[in-house]
Amino acid sequence: MPTVIHKTRGELEEQREQLLAGVHMSYEELAERAATYSLSLRELDVWHTIEGLDYLLDGDS
């Protein structure tokens, strides 16, 4: 049976900010480095997680 996680918009936004703080980059810096394939594996994992969070946040508008 699949696991479903329920989070509020605020919780998703907070998680996104914590992820960016954890890699010591702004969203713009992370996106730029992702575009040039200049991320470590950990940073790439954060990038993909943020992409997923942004998808959820955009769908909640």
In the prediction, which pLDDT does 61 show?
57
Query: How is residue 11 written in tokens?
Result: 């919780």
Q: How does pLDDT run along the chain (61 residues), one tens digit per residue?
A: 788 888 999 999 999 999 999 999 999 999 999 999 999 999 999 999 999 999 999 986 5
pTM of the model: 0.86
Contacts 24+ apart (CB under 8 A), 16-22: 16/50, 16/53, 16/54, 16/57, 19/46, 19/49, 19/50, 19/53, 20/46, 20/50, 22/46
In the prediction, which pLDDT does 35 show?
97
Q: At what angle do helices 41-59 and 27-35 cross, to 10 degrees?
A: 120
Query: How is residue 30 written in tokens?
Result: 């992370």
